[in-house]
Amino acid sequence: MSLIVNLRHLETKAVHIQGERPMNQLEIENIDELIQVIDPVQFDLWIEKLRESVLVHGQLRLNLQCECVRCLARFPNLVEIMDWNCVLLLEGEEKVRIENDCVDLTPFVREDILLAFPRHPLCKPECSGLPFASQQYQKVSEANASGAVSSAWDQLDKLKL
């Protein structure tokens, strides 16, 4: 079941909805190989009808299991959108699709949650990466600083084409 709001319920007052939806209902599972959704999406929303639009505001929360792009360690990551706002137009060219006096909030929630996903998940900002790779990088950096190792370009300059 999607996040569907009946517009008739909004005619007299604002509506408050809260709860959670599984990731498969919002179609946000298996979006990224480094990020897995481990808990349902939690929402706490106020919805009110304005003249020619519907205003939705509230909070969205989601627990993720991420893999660090540097050291490949798995770590939990909480995505919280504390002041989420969405305006759904009921008139004009960009009006929202209305079926049986109902509007589906699912695509709008999904889009903003995906935009809040970490682009390059890091277990901690100072993560140095895989132990072996960071040691090799340090050795090359030290050798280059002392001038003992020539650069890769020097080796390419020696090619006779």
Q: Is the pLDDT of residue 141 over 80?
A: no
Domain count across the chain = 2
Q: In this predicted model, which residue has the larger pLDDT, 76 or 160?
A: 76
Residues 80 and 155 in one domain: no
Query: Pick from 14, 161, 160, 41: which is nearest to 108 by CA?
Result: 41
Q: What is the pTM of this model?
A: 0.71
Residues 39 and 101 in one domain: yes
Q: Is the pLDDT of residue 106 over 60?
A: yes
Residues 40 and 79 in one domain: yes
| Domain with 142 in it | 130-161
Greatest alpha-carbon pair distance for the chain in Å reads: 83
Residue 60 has a pLDDT of 93
Q: Is the pLDDT of residue 21 over 70?
A: yes
Residues 82 and 153 in one domain: no
Residues 94 and 138 in one domain: no
Element (H, E) at 72: none
Residue 25 CB partners (closer than 8 Å, separation 6+)? 1, 2, 106
Residues 24 and 41 in one domain: yes
